[in-house]
């Protein structure tokens, strides 16, 4: 059976039965109704063939829109070949008021009766809804009389819910007894699938067949056209997938069929169908972007009115049309129940015949309608992206607001699209400058190194408010500095200050601060800028401002001119002052960096969060990246290697920069410490340092590469990197080890190369500088390396002092079993205890309290102590120190340092390297105590206060406990501790 006659057996049987009645002299009308494309014409042809085969004479007429103005045009088609027709057709029209039983109508009726006298008749009229008025009236009168004639009348009529109300049907005034009506349903999915497979003639994937069924939408017309195109496109093989675009189909039967379907529905329905396709297209884009709620262009339950406004249609009829089209299979419920086209190919076919200008106008109307009803800015902007320029201020505002939201949601591609579209709208120069600044910043940050700079330069040329001009200048300067053009960046800011900021001292201070920060990318420029900043601060502090003074604190911290305690006092005093909003980001970022160097990591973290919250992420700002860098520095200081490496941005190059950045340096060290040296080598080799930018980040990467080379058995190569790092830092007036401890690292390489004298000199200089800064981390590291370089009993004393200093910096968690109570007992030296809040350095001085875990330095200090104790013959104490180091390294996930501790244990004669790595027996006393409190539903803050620990210490211990117990959630702690406690006793220790 053909496509059009599938599932039409009942209709054919009905007509056959009525034909039998007609041959017996009891004629009737059979009305076959159906939507466009349901196969009405094909069924009528089959009915005619069936009647002819049964001996009936068939009179045919096919109505069309072209004949609606010709009186009796359809009737003339029916009776055109009988005797007497020519005279009836050639008569003049009846005068007005002629009764039905007289005139041309009566003579045509008599002509039909004459045909019936000769043989039973089948009168077949296709598309009777298109018949002229005279023919419709004649047919209605004929139906009223044929019940005693050998005449069966079968007519087809379009029956579909359109936007424009339809005219009365043919049988509107007829008695139901005279008419048998059948409504043709769309093809079922099973029948459509069977037809697809049959037409293809070869096996096809089920998903591909289902795609064809959906694109056919239950319409024999569309399905047949689609199969024709598929046969022409791929006559010998099944296409890999049904395309979403009609452009991929040849010869184009499907698109032509859809166009005919639209024409049949009328212009208003066509416009609504196209408007729906346009919105459906937006919705498809949103799903690809992961916004299932149609954030940029989707529509919901109330959007029947939106469709009506887009198409200029009656809003009362659009919901009914959506329901009807869903019932026919042309639409299907999408996400949230929204009606959508059954297949993208169908939607594309609806749109393909729509001109670009009309489509843009529809999207313009949609945007206005969405704006009036209060839709989200992104939803309205999604329509504006597809419209021509509106020419009104509201459009620019909507697009900029949508870009802001997209930036906050980390959807930079959407933000770029909105801002680029905003530039198509007319706006004042000051407004355009702001938009260009936003767009240029985003383009530079997300596309490539040179993108965005022309936009920012144009923003600088346009007139605008002084504050906005400063933002544009800072963004342009940031882009230039990141390209290695720090001198040009500073010149841009100076030029702005000289020409446009007279009378704005707050903005002048912001420009000075930005200049100082951007000068970090070039040693020569940095020295010049900071010299001016220091001199100005001495003469006129008000010209520098709080942010500038914070930068001077940062400068003195790195130059080895101040202590951590003094630096933090000054920074906190500056934070307590009122700050200009434009300069506050500079102050917070600088304060966070100093706090991180001072081992005040929780405070630094709070400052980073506050600073990032106040940043406008769509604008290039030197402090935005600085804050992100401090956040990475904090994670590295805590030894949070897994956290560092989990961030994909850490292992990937910064957009627009061929040289390594701070994040890659920390990632390199994290890979080394976690035992992934091959990955670290690939990362290091991925950067060409032949002609790098002279930035502080290069120094950090040189240090990290030196760590990698030292860990892989290349002390000479490592020494070269460390010394080069030091040379670059010295050129920038950076002497303090708070940035990169290149001297201690170089000293260790010198020792490995058999040069103790050079190592000792480097270590002593590091201790001198560390004593100035005076925090546990830098002081403990310097004491450790000096002790290793010194050797003997004095070396042991120095390493033990390093351990004591670092235990204090670890927040009191210092005993081998991890208990805070034992912290002061772990070193039985006869040194006096320092005052509260200070730690003894073991030599009569005090260390500024860190209050944060410093395991990254305590572990190597314990290893150094263990080695010195082993050399001194104190093997029992050595094993205690080394086992603690291995345990702490295990907790930290520091594979390299654990291996070093275990190697030292074996060298000292221990038969087992360390405690168990997993299970209850592997928990330290601190881990067990903290885990038990957490199992009692206490928060991390409560546990920290109860045990007098830093919150981060609690988090570190809990993370380690989770790993050892093999759990992931806090709720599992109780059961894990109970089960593990019932199965495990204390770990057995075997000693040499």
Residues 753-803 have pLDDT tens digits of 999 999 999 999 999 999 999 999 999 999 999 999 999 999 999 999 999
**CB burial class (10 A; 0-12, 13-18, 19+) of residue 448?**
exposed
d(CA 557, CA 596): 12
Average pLDDT of 895-914?
83
Is the pLDDT at 853 greater than 70? The verdict is no
Cβ contacts of residue 974 below 8 Å, gap of 6+? 935
DSSP code per residue over 578-623: ---HHHHHHHHHHHHHHHHHTT-HHHHHHHHHHHHHHS-TTS--HH
Residue that wins the pLDDT comparison between 144 and 952: 144
d(CA 253, CA 293): 34
d(CA 99, CA 107): 12
d(CA 762, CA 276): 75
Is the pLDDT at 299 greater than 70? The verdict is no
d(CA 23, CA 862): 112
Of 331-345, 421-435, 600-614, the range with the lowest mean pLDDT is 331-345
Q: 626 to each of 518, 554, 768, 827, how far by Cα in Å?
A: 11, 13, 28, 40
Is the pLDDT at 143 greater than 80? The verdict is yes
Look up residue 867 and give its two tokens: 């080695």
Of 328-337, 442-451, 621-630, 975-984, the range with the lowest mean pLDDT is 975-984
Residue that wins the pLDDT comparison between 447 and 278: 278
In the chain, % of residues over pLDDT 90 = 52
Cβ contacts of residue 538 below 8 Å, gap of 6+? none
pLDDT in tens, 611-668: 998 877 778 888 888 898 999 999 999 888 888 888 776 666 555 456 788 888 999 9
* Helical spans, DSSP H, in 235-315: 253-265, 267-288, 304-311
pLDDT in tens, 942-988: 888 888 777 777 887 888 788 778 777 788 888 778 764 444 444 43
Average pLDDT of 462-471?
90
User: Tokens 């939607």 appear where?
Assistant: 347
Is 785 within 8 Å of 766 (Cβ atoms)?
A: yes
Strand partners, 629: none
Average pLDDT of 301-324?
86
d(CA 865, CA 855): 15
User: Tokens 């037809």 appear where?
Assistant: 195
Average pLDDT of 486-505?
82
Q: Is the bond leading into 251 cis (omega within 30 degrees of zero)?
A: yes
Look at residue 833 in the predicted model and tell me its pLDDT. Answer: 33
Look at residue 515 in the predicted model and tell me its pLDDT. Answer: 87
Cβ contacts of residue 104 below 8 Å, gap of 6+? 72, 88, 91, 93, 94
Look at residue 22 in the predicted model and tell me its pLDDT. Answer: 95
Is the pLDDT at 432 greater than 60? The verdict is yes
Look at residue 690 in the predicted model and tell me its pLDDT. Answer: 72
Average pLDDT of 921-945?
83
d(CA 458, CA 475): 12
Look at residue 448 in the predicted model and tell me its pLDDT. Answer: 60
Look at residue 557 in the predicted model and tell me its pLDDT. Answer: 95
Rg value, the chain, Cα: 43
d(CA 567, CA 129): 91
Look at residue 828 in the predicted model and tell me its pLDDT. Answer: 31
Residue that wins the pLDDT comparison between 853 and 299: 853
Element (H, E) at 930: helix 925-935
Cβ contacts of residue 86 below 8 Å, gap of 6+? none
**Torsion from C-alpha of 761, 763, 764, 767, nearest 10 degrees:** 160
Look up residue 342 and give its two tokens: 């059954």
Element (H, E) at 28: strand 28-34
Look at residue 300 in the predicted model and tell me its pLDDT. Answer: 46
Average pLDDT of 508-536?
85
Look at residue 494 in the predicted model and tell me its pLDDT. Answer: 85
Residue that wins the pLDDT comparison between 305 and 787: 787
DSSP code per residue over 386-432: TS----SHHHHHHHHHHHHHHHHTT-HHHHHHHHHHHTTS---HHHH
- Residue 891's pLDDT band, with cuts at 50, 70 and 90, is confident
Look at residue 620 in the predicted model and tell me its pLDDT. Answer: 83
- Residue 920's pLDDT band, with cuts at 50, 70 and 90, is low
422: nearest Cα among 410, 409, 437: 437
Is 754 within 8 Å of 716 (Cβ atoms)?
A: no
Look up residue 510 and give its two tokens: 């912001």
pLDDT in tens, 28-46: 999 999 999 999 999 999 9
3-state secondary structure 131-152: CCHHHHHHHHHHHHHHHHCCEE
Is the pLDDT at 990 greater than 80? The verdict is no
Residue 123 has phi, psi (to 5 degrees) of -100, 110
Strand 839-840 with 57-62, pairing: unpaired
Average pLDDT of 484-511?
83
Question: How many residues are there in the chain?
Answer: 992
445: nearest Cα among 434, 433, 453: 453
914: nearest Cα among 884, 894, 873: 884
Average pLDDT of 872-886?
92
Look at residue 410 in the predicted model and tell me its pLDDT. Answer: 84
Residue that wins the pLDDT comparison between 175 and 949: 175
Look up residue 440 and give its two tokens: 């240029």
Is the pLDDT at 921 greater than 70? The verdict is no
Q: What is the DSSP letter of 694?
A: -
Of 48-52, 143-147, 589-593, 645-649, the range with the lowest mean pLDDT is 645-649
799: nearest Cα among 869, 847, 882: 869
Look at residue 3 in the predicted model and tell me its pLDDT. Answer: 64
Residue 848 has phi, psi (to 5 degrees) of -60, 130
Look at residue 659 in the predicted model and tell me its pLDDT. Answer: 75
422: nearest Cα among 414, 524, 336: 414
pLDDT in tens, 666-710: 999 999 999 999 999 998 888 877 766 677 888 899 999 999 999
Look at residue 11 in the predicted model and tell me its pLDDT. Answer: 95
**Neighbouring C-beta atoms of residue 914, cutoff 10 Å:** 21
d(CA 229, CA 241): 14
**CB burial class (10 A; 0-12, 13-18, 19+) of residue 455?**
buried
In the chain, % of residues over pLDDT 70 = 85
- Residue 594's pLDDT band, with cuts at 50, 70 and 90, is very high
Handedness of CA 545, 546, 547, 551 (dihedral sign): positive
d(CA 802, CA 843): 11
Look at residue 296 in the predicted model and tell me its pLDDT. Answer: 42
Look at residue 671 in the predicted model and tell me its pLDDT. Answer: 93
Look at residue 76 in the predicted model and tell me its pLDDT. Answer: 92
Residue 557 has phi, psi (to 5 degrees) of -65, -45
Average pLDDT of 403-421?
91
- Could you tell me how many helices (H) and strands (E) the chain has, helices first? 45, 9
Q: What is the DSSP letter of 170?
A: T
Is 947 within 8 Å of 820 (Cβ atoms)?
A: yes
pTM for this one?
A: 0.69
Look up residue 669 and give its two tokens: 């060290």
Is the pLDDT at 94 greater than 90? The verdict is no
Average pLDDT of 347-371?
90
Average pLDDT of 339-358?
91
**Torsion from C-alpha of 526, 527, 530, 531, nearest 10 degrees:** -160
Strand 121-126 with 179-184, pairing: unpaired
Is 329 within 8 Å of 261 (Cβ atoms)?
A: no
CA 371 to chain CA mean position, Å: 25
Look at residue 140 in the predicted model and tell me its pLDDT. Answer: 96
Look at residue 814 in the predicted model and tell me its pLDDT. Answer: 35
């Amino acid at each position: 059976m053909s496509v059009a006659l599938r599932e039409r057996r009942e209709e054919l049987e009905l007509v056959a039965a009525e034909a039998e009645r007609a041959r017996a002299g009891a004629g009737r009308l059979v009305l076959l109704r159906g939507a466009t494309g349901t196969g009405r014409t094909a069924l009528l042809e089959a009915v005619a063939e069936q009647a002819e085969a049964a001996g009936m004479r068939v009179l045919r007429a096919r109505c069309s829109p072209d004949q609606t103005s010709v009186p009796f045009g359809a009737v003339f088609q029916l009776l055109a070949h009988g005797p007497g027709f020519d005279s009836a057709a050639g008569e003049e029209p009846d005068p007005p008021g002629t009764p039905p039983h007289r005139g041309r109508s009566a003579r045509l009726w008599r002509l039909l009766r004459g045909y019936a006298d000769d043989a039973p008749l089948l009168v077949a009229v296709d598309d009777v809804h298109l018949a002229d008025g005279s023919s419709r009236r004649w047919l209605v009168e004929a139906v009223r009389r044929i019940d005693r004639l050998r005449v069966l009348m079968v007519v087809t009529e379009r029956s579909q819910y359109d936007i424009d109300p339809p005219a009365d049907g043919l049988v509107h005034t007829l008695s139901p007894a005279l008419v048998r009506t059948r409504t043709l349903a769309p093809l079922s999915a099973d029948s459509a699938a069977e037809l697809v497979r049959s037409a293809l003639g070869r096996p096809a994937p089920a998903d591909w067949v289902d795609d064809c069924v959906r694109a056919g939408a239950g319409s024999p017309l569309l399905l047949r056209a689609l199969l024709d195109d598929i046969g022409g496109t791929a006559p010998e093989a099944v296409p890999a997938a049904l395309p979403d675009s009609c452009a991929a189909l040849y010869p184009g039967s499907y698109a032509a069929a859809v166009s005919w379907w639209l024409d049949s529905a009328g212009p208003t329905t066509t416009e609504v169908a196209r408007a729906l396709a346009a919105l459906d297209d937006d919705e498809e884009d949103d799903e690809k972007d992961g916004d299932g709620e149609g954030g940029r262009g989707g529509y919901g339950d109330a959007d029947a009115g939106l469709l009506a406004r887009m198409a200029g249609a009656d809003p009362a009829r659009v919901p009914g049309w959506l329901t009807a089209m869903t019932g026919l299979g042309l639409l299907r419920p999408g996400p949230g129940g929204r009606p959508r086209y059954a297949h993208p190919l169908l939607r594309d076919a609806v749109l393909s015949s729509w001109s670009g200008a009309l489509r843009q106008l529809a999207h313009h109307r949609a945007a206005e309608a969405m704006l009036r009803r209060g839709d989200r800015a992104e939803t309205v902007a999604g329509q504006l992206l597809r419209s021509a320029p509106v020419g009104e201020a509201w459009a620019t505002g909507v697009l900029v607001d949508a870009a802001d939201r997209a930036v906050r949601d980390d959807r930079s591609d959407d933000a770029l699209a909105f801002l680029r579209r905003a530039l198509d709208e007319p706006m004042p120069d000051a407004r355009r400058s702001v938009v260009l600044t936003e767009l240029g910043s985003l383009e530079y940050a997300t596309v490539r190194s040179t993108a965005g700079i022309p936009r920012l330069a144009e923003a600088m040329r346009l007139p605008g408010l002084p504050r906005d001009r400063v933002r544009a200048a800072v963004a342009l300067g940031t882009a230039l500095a990141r390209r290695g053009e720090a001198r040009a960046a500073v010149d841009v800011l100076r030029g702005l200050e000289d020409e446009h900021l007279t009378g704005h001292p707050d903005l002048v201070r912001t420009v000075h601060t930005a200049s100082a920060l951007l000068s970090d990318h070039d040693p020569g420029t940095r020295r010049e800028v900071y010299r001016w900043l220091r001199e100005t601060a001495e003469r006129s502090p008000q010209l520098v401002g709080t942010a500038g003074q914070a930068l001077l604190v940062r400068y003195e911290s790195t130059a080895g001119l101040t202590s951590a305690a003094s630096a933090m006092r000054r920074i906190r005093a500056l934070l307590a002052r009122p700050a200009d909003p434009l300069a506050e980001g500079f102050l917070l970022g600088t304060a966070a960096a100093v706090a991180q160097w001072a081992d005040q990591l929780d405070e630094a973290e709070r400052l980073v969060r506050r600073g990032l919250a106040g940043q406008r992420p769509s604008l290039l700002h030197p402090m935005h990246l600085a804050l992100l860098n401090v956040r990475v520095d904090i994670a590295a200081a805590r030894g949070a290697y897994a956290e560092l490496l989990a961030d994909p941005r850490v292992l990937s190059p910064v957009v627009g920069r061929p040289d390594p950045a701070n994040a890659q340096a920390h990632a390199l060290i994290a890979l080394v410490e976690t035992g992934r040296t091959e990955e670290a080598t690939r990362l290091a080799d991925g950067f060409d340092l032949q002609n790098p930018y002279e930035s502080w980040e290069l120094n950090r990467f040189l240090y990290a590469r030196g760590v990698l080379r030292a860990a892989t058995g290349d002390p000479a190569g490592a020494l070269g990197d460390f010394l080069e790092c030091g040379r670059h830092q010295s050129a920038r007036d950076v002497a303090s080890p708070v940035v990169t401890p290149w001297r201690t690292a170089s000293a260790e390489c010198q020792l490995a190369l058999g040069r103790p004298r050079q190592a000792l000199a480097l270590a002593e200089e590091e201790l001198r500088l560390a004593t100035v800064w005076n925090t546990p981390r830098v002081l403990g590291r310097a004491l450790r390396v000096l002790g290793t370089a010194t050797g003997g009993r004095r070396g042991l004393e120095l390493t033990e002092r390093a351990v004591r200093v670092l235990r204090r910096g670890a927040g009191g968690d210092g005993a081998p079993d991890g208990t805070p109570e034992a912290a002061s007992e772990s070193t039985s030296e006869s040194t006096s205890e320092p005052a509260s809040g200070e730690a003894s350095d073991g030599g009569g001085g005090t260390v500024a309290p860190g209050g944060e875990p410093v395991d990254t330095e305590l572990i190597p200090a314990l290893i150094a102590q263990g080695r010195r104790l082993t050399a001194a013959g104190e093997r029992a104490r050595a094993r205690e120190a080394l086992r603690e180091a291995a345990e702490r390294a295990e907790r930290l996930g520091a594979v390299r340092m654990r291996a070093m501790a275990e190697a030292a244990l074996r060298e000292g004669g221990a038969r087992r390297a360390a405690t168990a790595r997993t299970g209850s027996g592997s928990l330290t006393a601190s881990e067990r105590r903290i885990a038990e409190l957490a199992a009692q539903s206490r928060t991390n803050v409560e546990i920290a206060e109860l045990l007098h620990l830093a919150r981060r210490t609690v988090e570190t211990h809990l993370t380690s406990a989770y790993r050892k117990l093999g759990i992931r959630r806090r709720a599992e702690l109780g059961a894990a501790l109970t089960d593990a406690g019932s199965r495990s006793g204390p770990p057995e220790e075997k000693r040499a």
